[in-house]
């Protein structure tokens, strides 16, 4: 279970990072970071 959960989370984080990288708007980058951090905390990784 942990392995598949890690793969899913890794894929989501990679997608989020790509979206952030492609988006030049700084405000949107900050929003994505906040959403990402909240999501990671919900998943219980950090």
- What confidence score (pLDDT) does residue 29 get? 63
Contacts for 23 with CB less than 8 Å, ≥ 6 apart: 29, 32
Tens of pLDDT along 2-41?
A: 888 888 888 888 887 777 666 656 566 677 678 778 877 7
Nearest to 20 by CA among 41, 35, 42, 40: 35
Domain limits for position 28: 2-43
- What confidence score (pLDDT) does residue 45 get? 60
Q: What is the count of structural domains for the chain?
A: 1
- What confidence score (pLDDT) does residue 37 get? 80
**Model-wide pTM > 0.75:** no
């Amino acid at each position: 279970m942990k392995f598949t959960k890690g793969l899913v989370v890794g894929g989501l984080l990679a997608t989020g990072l790509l979206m952030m990288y492609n988006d030049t708007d700084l405000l949107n980058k900050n929003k994505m970071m906040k959403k990402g951090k909240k999501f990671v905390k919900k998943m219980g990784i950090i």
